Chains A and B, each alone.
Chain A
Amino acid sequence: MPDLADLYQQVIIEHNRSPRNYRVLPDANRTAEGDNPLCGDRLTLYLKVNGDTIEDVGFQGRGCAISQASASLMTAAVQGKRVAEAQALFDAVHAMLTGSGTPDPGRLGKLAALAGVRQFPARVKCASLSWHTLRAALEGRAARVTTDDPRT
């Protein structure tokens, strides 16, 4: 039986209550919108990318605790990272959420708190929305990311 305590870890509850980087970046040069029409989760992600470095990151959105905490954790994890590192994090988180690979706990750090989501298949899209939005922003895709998109 899946365990609620694995899903709603203290880190998740806390990031949902006080999301990090919850702001519009006026000087953002990459933005993307994420939308899960099925449950109404949505967020706008702002990145300031200088060369190959993510100098600043912010987001605003609304949705369930998993979606908001995941977005908050994501922004904290990619702040100051190189684009290639952020993309590698996307791959690692995606593997963790879908069980399609072996996650590397050393690389994931606090993001490991999202591991419990895997036991709740109905909630995986909540956790992955912000990450797909990150990838779209990094790739400069202007279109809105939705969880109904086959690419996600």
Chain B
Amino acid sequence: MATTSTTSLQDQLRTRLLTFNTNALDAIVTDLWIDYPPDTAAFPYGVMRIVDNTQDTDYDANRFTVQLEVMIYGNKRSQMQAVENAADACDKAMIDYVDSTSGITWARGRTRATAPATNDPAFRESATVRLVYELVVYPLYLNQE
């Protein structure tokens, strides 16, 4: 666990998502990629990103808010259940998430949406769920002491 850099924060969140609880995400998806999956990625898989890093001006410069976006993709409607189960596993991992082992990170909001049935230019029968968690972070790398 580390918040010594943005990439280590990503790794921390990825580990949390993949391994939390017995219905862990890593038992459902083939992998959870950061930012962009490789062309060879097998379905169902997840993609996570940290987006919209905004500084909380009320708390000086050492606290910020980020959106952690997790996308779960399946390539046929029969994978819809697995995709939704994967989204459930993400929710279990991130709702009420608090970590103070390195800096402080906690979750305070979540949105979840299932994409409608796909058509051109997407492959038909794709199954997609989008999750967004709002996280507040006091990272170590902004601690100047």
A interacts with B:
no
Interface residues of A (CB under 8 A from B): none
